[in-house]
Chains A and B, each alone.
Chain A
Amino acid sequence: MAEFEPRIVAFLCHWCTYTGADLAGTTRQQYPPNVRVVHLMCSGAVDSIYVLKALIDGADGVLIGGCHPGDCHYQTGNYKARRRVAILKGILQQMGYTEDRVLLKWISASEGKLFADTVTKMVDDLKKMGPNPMKQLWNA
């Protein structure tokens, strides 16, 4: 059987992490092709439903990328994301997600390598965790 390849949906803010992901490309950082990017203006615009929908649909992990504290283009969007994710993690536990499949990460526009490293590590971690249990439920 082929090795399990996790699927990650990433919600990246325009000003920092999306541009950082672009820089990863410009500098030819290589990372596994398991991630799919949704481009948003701000990490504060990541509605909880986006994350929940991705997980319920069967994504193995969700990455939310925003600006470092103090650097948010919209002043405080990243803090809003941080609070939202903190609450969301509690709800996900209740839903039966015992492992941490949602990663909130501050990656600036100049941290292309950090973006590549983050995705690489997340793929490794998710491989250890195994597939999203919800997906198995659908396939049963």
Chain B
Amino acid sequence: MKKLGVFICHCGVNIAGTVDVKSVAEKIGKTEDVAHSTDYIYMCSEPGQQIIREAIREKGLDGVVVACCSPNMHENTFRKAVKSQGMNPYLCEIANIREQCSWVHQKEKGEATRKAEEIIHATLEKVRKNESLEAIAVAVNRRVLVVGGGIAGITASLDLADGGYEVILLEREPALGGHMAQLSKTFPDLDPAFGGLLSKASEVEKHPKIQLHCYSELEDVKGFVGNFDLVIRQKATSVNGAKCTGCGLCIENCPVEYVSEFERGMGIRKAIDMPYPGSVPNKAVINRQHCRYFLDGSCHRCEEVCPEKAIDYDQEEERISEKVGAVVVATGYELYPKEQLGEYGYGEIPDVIDGLAFERMLAPNGPTKGKIVRPSDGKVPKEMVFIQCVASRDPDRYMPYCSRICCMYTAKHATIYKEQVPDGQPYIFYMDIRSDCKGYEEFLQKTIEEKGLLYLRGRVSRVFQDNGKVRVLGVDTLTGKMVEVAADMVVLATAIVPSPGVKELAAKLRATVDRHGFLTEAHIKLYPVESSTKGIYLAGCGQSPKDISDTVSQASATASKIQALLSTDKLLQDPLIAFVDEGICSGCGICVEICPYEAREMDSHRGISIVHSALCQGCGACIASCPNFACELRNSASNQILKMVDTFVT
């Protein structure tokens, strides 16, 4: 028989105000195998822990129940405390009598006291059958995969590589940069975004510790924290990257033009082209959907003009296998699809564009070389309307969340517009202005005061084309008056949504996404850069909308978390996993089918199922599905659970 100790916390008045802790301690103390039962005002405090340590030492306890707050709060604290006295930490369990008892039954003191006593009795049942366990040490691969080559992925890669870790960086597009490569200037300092991005991207390209795979996607992932096996699909660029010098002759000579996605539909690109001028890597790529060689074999212009003989029409896509210990998901964002924003005339009226299209217009390397003109007729717009919160903060029809960057970039857009067109009038429709980071409010106030921006608080009800103008109907809720602007051009600050394909990627990585498709963090406050799957980390807008400063901070935070994870050669894993009673297992294989982690396998030689302890996450799916109780979870075996049920019912 074990000698058990029970320690009941008052938590000030949080527990003791409802539960009669003294009487509970006294009653529990009468249990046969309870050698020590006591209460104290704050068990988690140093003197409280000292009480536990002393009791273990003096009474020779070999099991402890601490009745206090949720195990999510202090399980670790108390397990460490018992461990310091040489007790196995897995022999200490928490009875949750605060969150799930005293706090929720504040007016029923008698019942709450009885309930607390039962919860402690049930937890004692569990401890009676708990085994001493050791954390499982697993070898770690100290390389990192970063998915996404925008500013988040670039930052995380550089931080990790500078820390001495090998990084594999995957980018779906043919070049690094993500959406930041499309931006003109950034708020609040009106700094050109492109230069800073390019220098970071070139650093990545040259870094000896970073293996860059552009035009590549993650095809398959297996394994677990510390040991992921990857298959990368490298798409065919049809250009030998080692030979291409980026001279651009092929692009000049290519006869095929099509609408450029990078220029948000306002420019054209060639069938052989670079993702953007000066891109990193600075190599041409053939788009096989547009290239005449691939369509009908009628054209070989690029092959003929390339001085380096770099064109390789026969190039095939490659599958590359790699091993890493951790993964950063930095998949970024997309803007809300314009097809679904008909009420703003978006997609129908050429002079209604979105924020990123306006960025391209403002960019010196953009389709208009930085000049603000109407897409329909090339005239300089004199009346400009900016509409904020398009599809954001609109739970009934669109997205309920705030996209976070639009208030500031709209102020920036209007400022740059006013600088370029001093006699023009910008109108900004807003709901309220969110400018809560360093220098943002100052930037905003300065622009409003100096530039004469007209902020109208209210939403737009209709946008339609009228005699060469874009008529915008709205309301100014501060004056209560209807507003009508005959605008030359309208810029919509459309909502940020996750990049397409994130859901599928998350499924491969066993990470989770929320109902909008943003990757979910393990805990919004305490573990903001970890996903709910160990070894998978988050950075950038794939997790939630954020601006460049926040993205860079988060990417660096992610990198430092991973450096901590990979700083040892062995990872310690929780041993609360499945095990098999080999004498009972009939080898039916149901557990192998049901395991979501491929942690169960048939040992065909012995005809039984085994558990890969490094893969098992302890979910218990196999336990519940085993028809003859041959597999169990360590320290949550069925007999323990059934004993707990007994305590609660009888």
Q: Using a CB–CB distance below 8 Å, which chain A residues touch chain B? A: 7, 9, 15, 19, 21-26, 28-33, 36-42, 44-50, 53-54, 57-59, 70-71, 73-77, 80, 84, 116
Known A36-B648, A42-B621, A76-B596; contact A116-B104, beta-carbon cutoff 8 A: yes
Instruction: Name which residue of chain A comes closest to B618, CB basis.
Output: A41
Nearest residue (CB) in A for B622 is A45
Q: How far is the CA of A74 from the CA of B599 in the complex (A)?
A: 13
Does B512 count as interface, using CB distance less than 8 angstroms?
yes
When C-beta atoms are compared, the residue in chain B nearest to A73 turns out to be B532
B625 partner residues in chain A, CB cutoff 8 A: 80
> B544 in the interface, Cβ–Cβ < 8 Å?
no
Measured between beta carbons, the chain B residues less than 8 angstroms from A74 are 596, 617, 619, 621
Structural contact, A45 and B649, CB atoms closer than 8 A: no
Contacts of B112 in A (CB 8 A): 33
A57 near B71: Cβ-Cβ < 8 Å: no
Chain B residue contacts of A25, Cβ below 8 A: 70, 98-101, 103-104
CA distance in complex: A130, B98 (Å):
30
Interface SS of chain B? helix
Whether B624 lies near A45 (C-beta < 8 A) is: yes
Complex Cα spacing A31 to B594, Å: 36
Among the 9-residue stretches B167-175, B349-357, B638-646, the one with 4 or more Cβ atoms under 8 Å from chain A is B638-646
CA distance A19 to B100 in the complex (A): 10
- Report yes or no: B99 in contact with A22, Cβ–Cβ below 8 A: yes
Which of A21, A25, A44 has the most chain B CB atoms closer than 10 A to its own CB? A25
Q: With a CB–CB cut-off of 8 A, which chain B residues contact A53?
A: 642, 645-646
Decide if A22 touches B108 in the complex (CB within 8 Å): no
Closest 10 interchain pairs by CB? A45-B620, A25-B99, A74-B619, A25-B103, A36-B648, A57-B649, A22-B99, A33-B111, A47-B624, A42-B619
Which one of B115-123, B303-311, B383-391, B424-432 is at the A interface?
A: B115-123
Check if B623 is an interface residue, CB within 8 A of chain A. yes
Q: A40-B620, A40-B636 are in contact. Are A31 and B104 (CB under 8 A)?
A: yes
Q: Contacts A36-B122, A39-B71 hold; do A26 and B103 have CB atoms under 8 A apart?
A: yes
Q: Which residues of B in the span 484-540 have a Cβ within 8 Å of any Cβ on A?
A: 510, 512, 532
A29 to B619, CA, bound (A): 29
Contacts of B289 in A (CB 8 A): none
Complex interface bits, B609-644 against A, C-beta within 8 A gives 1, otherwise 0: 000000001111101110000000100101001101
In the bound complex, residues from chain A placing their C-beta under 8 Å from that of B596 are 74-77
Report whether A37 and B100 are in contact in the complex, using a CB–CB cutoff of 8 Å. yes
A25 to B99, CA, bound (A): 4
Question: Within the complex, which residue of B576, B594, B642, B649 is in contact with A80, where a contact is CB–CB below 8 Å?
Answer: B594
- Cα A40 to Cα B100 with chains together (Å): 15
Q: Report whether B104 and A24 are in contact in the complex, using a CB–CB cutoff of 8 Å.
A: yes
Query: Do residues A44 and B642 form an inter-chain contact, with CB atoms below 8 A?
Result: no
Q: For the complex, what is the distance from the CA of A23 to the CA of B624, rounded to whole Å?
A: 27
Q: Write out, one digit per residue, whether chain B residues 135-167 have a CB within 8 A of any chain A CB (1) or not (0).
A: 000000000000000000000000000000000
> Closest approach, in angstroms, between the C-beta of B217 and any C-beta of chain A?
21
Q: Which of A24, A37, A39, A58 contacts B650 (CB 8 A)?
A: A58
Contact B649 A9 (CB under 8 A): yes
Are B104 and A54 within 8 A (Cβ)? no
Least Cβ–Cβ distance between B595 and chain A, in angstroms: 10
Of chain A, the residue at the smallest CB distance from B73 is A22
Verify if B606 is at the interface (C-beta below 8 Å from A). Answer: no
Sample 13 A-B pairs with CB under 8 A, ordered by A number: A28-B103, A28-B104, A29-B104, A38-B641, A40-B636, A45-B624, A47-B623, A47-B624, A53-B645, A54-B649, A58-B650, A70-B512, A76-B621
In the assembled complex, the CB of A8 is this many whole angstroms from the nearest CB of chain B, namely 9
A46:B624 contact, CB within 8 angstroms: yes
Which of B96, B108, B122, B617 is close to A33, meaning CB atoms less than 8 Å apart? Answer: B108
Query: CB-CB < 8 A to A42: which residues of B?
Result: 619-621
Interface flag for B206 (CB, 8 Å): no
Q: Name B264-287 residues within 8 Å CB distance of A.
A: none
Q: Looking across the interface, which residue of chain B has its beta carbon closest to that of A54?
A: B645
**Interchain CA distance A81-B227 in the complex, whole Å:** 30
Q: What separation, in Å, do the CA atoms of A47 and B596 have in the docked complex? A: 17
Cβ contacts under 8 Å, A80 to chain B: 594, 621, 624-625
Q: 0/1 per residue, B587-605, Cβ < 8 Å to A?
A: 0000000101000000000
Q: Are B512 and A45 in contact (CB under 8 A)?
A: no
Nearest-neighbour CB distance to chain B for A108, whole angstroms, equals 10
Check if A57 sits within 8 Å of B645, measured CB to CB: yes
- Taken together as a complex, chains A and B put the C-alpha atoms of A89 and B256 apart, in Å, by 65
Per-residue interface assignment for chain B, residues 68 to 97, with 1 indicating a CB less than 8 Å from any chain A CB and 0 otherwise: 001110000000000000000000000010
A130 CB, nearest partner CB in chain B, Å = 17
Q: Does B105 contact A (CB under 8 A)?
A: yes
A73 engages B623 (CB within 8 Å) = no
Is B379 positioned at the interface, with any CB of A under 8 Å from its CB? no
Asked whether B586 is an interface residue with its Cβ less than 8 Å from the other chain, the reply is: no
A30 near B107 with CB under 8 A, answer yes
**Cβ of B407 to closest chain A Cβ, rounded Å:** 26
Residues of B within 8 A of A76 (CB): 596, 621
Q: Which residues of A contact B512 (CB under 8 A)?
A: 70-71, 73
Query: Chain B CB within 10 Å — which of A33, A42, A77, A80 has the most?
Result: A33
- Please tell me if B106 contacts chain A, counting CB pairs below 8 Å: yes
Do residues B100 and A22 form an inter-chain contact, with CB atoms below 8 A?
Answer: yes
How far is it, in angstroms, between the C-alpha of A54 and the C-alpha of B644 when the chains are bound? 10
B72 touches A44 (CB 8 A): no
Residues of A within 8 A of B621 (CB): 42, 44-45, 74, 76-77, 80
Q: Report whether B617 and A30 are in contact in the complex, using a CB–CB cutoff of 8 Å.
A: no
A residues less than 8 Å from B650 (CB atoms): 57-58
Nearest residue, chain A, Cβ from B115? A33
Interchain CA distance A110-B625 in the complex, whole Å: 29
**Could you tell me if B623 and A37 are in contact, using CB atoms closer than 8 angstroms?**
no
**Given contacts A54-B645, A54-B649, is CB(A28)–CB(B620) below 8 Å?**
no
Instruction: Report the nearest B residue to A51, measured CB to CB.
Output: B645
Q: Are B642 and A21 in contact (CB under 8 A)?
A: no
CA distance A9 to B98 in the complex (A): 18
How far is B171's CA from A137's CA once the two chains are assembled, in angstroms? 67
Given contacts A47-B624, A50-B642, A75-B510, contact A58 B619 (CB under 8 A): no
Contact A28 B106 (CB under 8 A): yes
Residues of B within 8 A of A22 (CB): 70, 72, 96, 99-100
